[in-house]
């Protein structure tokens, strides 16, 4: 199936690029200026006291890290079966299926989410091992683990929301086959990453700090820059039709996407703030959020 897209004579690329770079620079400055304002972290809350609670965290986090690594390597990069993506080719303005192979399969934002998910679980799992064996874990490393977790959570939330409420409905409207969206590796990227990070937030002791808020915007802006470079200098296509910076309302839409990045982070921040004093409320909030965000079956299967 091939579908043509019309720009209607508009090209808002320059405006879109300037806005994205501005958001990136502002976000980096915000992170640098506020990094030290979060206060000291309680390593025992994050990684346990060295007993069974610590080792339960180790098993959970490293198991999740292996899931991410296995998904990226064996179900995606090393899988000889091409990954079918419906992409927008920049020059021809055609939306059509494209068979991606090897590392090209990691060019989606979902894949970036998978990498952040795996990195969070791996880094924090290794820190938990350090706590478990009684090693002195430097504060900067603990903070790095929290930073990666917060970034991974917001990215996973954004991915799940966009897939469920934007991409899948668009595919239904265009009469596309939904089967490819519910393969095992897609479930890990679109659903399980958010579910497992939510468990680590609620039960594992991870936290989301307001001082790390701009990290979600940094990742979002970097991906949009990467996507533009990939479309112009790389394979010539946008993985997602809605990230093309040229249409009339593209600058506003891209800012909206970055806004959703921020909202996704704030959801994690809100749950992090209430979970210690109101654990039942935090649990209900997580359950409601997940029920709104993830989708394990195609719409027709409900």
Query: Residue 80 class from Cβ within 10 Å (0-12 exposed, 13-18 middle, 19+ buried)?
Result: exposed
Q: How confident is the model at residue 37 (pLDDT cuts 50, 70, 90)?
A: confident
Q: How confident is the model at residue 38 (pLDDT cuts 50, 70, 90)?
A: confident
Q: Which of 11-20, 29-38, 128-137 has the weakest average pLDDT?
A: 29-38
Count of CB atoms within 10 A of residue 266's CB? 16
Residue located via tokens 């994205």: 20
Q: Is the pLDDT of residue 75 over 80?
A: yes
pLDDT tens digits, one per residue of 176-194: 889 889 999 999 999 999 9
Average confidence (pLDDT) over 44-65: 97
pLDDT recorded at residue 276: 86
Q: Is the pLDDT of residue 300 over 70?
A: no
Q: Is the pLDDT of residue 132 over 60?
A: yes
Cβ partners under 8 Å of residue 138, min gap 6: none
- Show the domain range for 64: 2-294
C-alpha span between 286 and 288 (Å, rounded): 5
Q: Is the pLDDT of residue 40 over 90?
A: no
pTM: 0.94
Q: What angle do CA 137, 122, 279 make, to 5 degrees?
A: 80
Task: Select from 12, 285, 290 the least CA-distant residue to 160.
Answer: 290
pLDDT recorded at residue 237: 97
Domain membership flag for residue 278? yes
C-alpha span between 281 and 288 (Å, rounded): 10
Domain membership flag for residue 43? yes
Domain membership flag for residue 300? no
Asked if residues 40 and 136 have their Cβ atoms less than 8 Å apart, the reply is no
Q: Is the pLDDT of residue 249 over 70?
A: yes
Domain membership flag for residue 226? yes
Number of domains in the chain: 1
Pair of tokens at residue 44 = 């025992």
pLDDT recorded at residue 301: 45
Domain membership flag for residue 301? no
Q: Which residue has the higher pLDDT, 117 or 2?
A: 117
Percent of the chain clearing pLDDT 70 (strictly above): 99
Domain membership flag for residue 195? yes
Q: Is the pLDDT of residue 302 over 50?
A: no
Supply the DSSP string of the chain, one letter for each residue: -EEE---TT---HHHHHHHHHHHHHHHHHHHHHHGGGG----HHHHH-SSSHHHHHHHHHHHHHHHHHHHIIIIIIIT-SSPEEEEEEETTT-EEEEEEE-GGGGGGSHHHHHHHHHHHHHHHHHHHHHHHHTT----HHHHHHHHHHHHHHHHHHHHHHHHIIIIIHHHHHHTT---GGGGSHHHHIIIIIHHHHHHHHHHTS-----GGGTHHHHHHHHHHHHHHHHHHHHSSSEESSGGG-S-STTHHHHHHHHHHHHHHHHHHHHHHHHHTTT-HHHHHHHHHHHHHHH--SS-GGG-
Average confidence (pLDDT) over 279-300: 93
Which phi and psi (to 5°) does residue 135 adopt? -75, 155
Q: Which residues pair with 98 in a beta bridge?
A: 85
Q: In angstroms, how far is CA 22 from the centroid of its own chain?
A: 21
Summary mean pLDDT of the chain:
94
Quote the crossing angle between the two packed helices 139-162 and 193-202, to the nearest 10°: 140
pLDDT tens digits, one per residue of 168-177: 998 898 888 8
pLDDT recorded at residue 211: 95
Domain membership flag for residue 112? yes
Average confidence (pLDDT) over 261-288: 94
Q: How confident is the model at residue 39 (pLDDT cuts 50, 70, 90)?
A: confident
Domain membership flag for residue 58? yes
């Amino acid at each position: 199936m091939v579908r043509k897209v019309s720009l209607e004579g508009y090209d808002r690329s320059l405006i879109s690029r300037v806005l994205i770079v501005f958001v990136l620079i502002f976000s980096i400055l915000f992170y640098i200026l506020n990094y030290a304002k979060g206060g000291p972290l309680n390593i025992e809350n994050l990684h346990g006291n060295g007993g069974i609670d610590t080792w339960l965290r180790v098993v959970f986090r490293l198991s999740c890290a292996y899931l991410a690594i296995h998904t990226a390597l064996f179900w995606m990069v090393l899988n000889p079966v091409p990954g079918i993506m419906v992409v927008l080719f920049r020059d021809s303005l055609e939306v059509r299926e494209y068979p991606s192979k090897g590392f090209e399969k990691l060019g989606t934002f979902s894949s970036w989410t998978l990498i952040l998910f795996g990195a969070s679980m791996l880094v924090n799992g290794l820190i938990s091992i350090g706590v478990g064996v009684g090693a002195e874990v430097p504060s900067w490393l603990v903070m790095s683990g929290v930073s990666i977790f917060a970034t991974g959570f917001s990215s996973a939330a954004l991915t799940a929301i966009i897939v469920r409420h934007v991409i899948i409905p668009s595919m239904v409207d265009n009469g596309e086959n939904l089967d490819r969206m519910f393969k095992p590796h897609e479930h890990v990227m679109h659903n399980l990453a958010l579910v497992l990070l939510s468990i680590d937030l609620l039960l594992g002791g991870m936290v989301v700090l307001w001082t790390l808020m701009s990290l979600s915007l940094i990742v979002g802006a970097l991906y949009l820059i990467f996507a533009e470079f990939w479309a112009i200098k790389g394979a010539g296509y946008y993985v997602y039709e809605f990230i093309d910076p040229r249409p009339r309302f593209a600058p506003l839409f891209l800012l909206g996407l970055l806004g959703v990045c921020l909202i996704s982070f704030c959801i994690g921040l809100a749950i992090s703030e209430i979970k210690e004093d109101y654990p039942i409320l935090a649990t209900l909030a997580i359950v409601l959020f997940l029920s709104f965000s993830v989708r394990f079956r195609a719409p027709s299967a409900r």
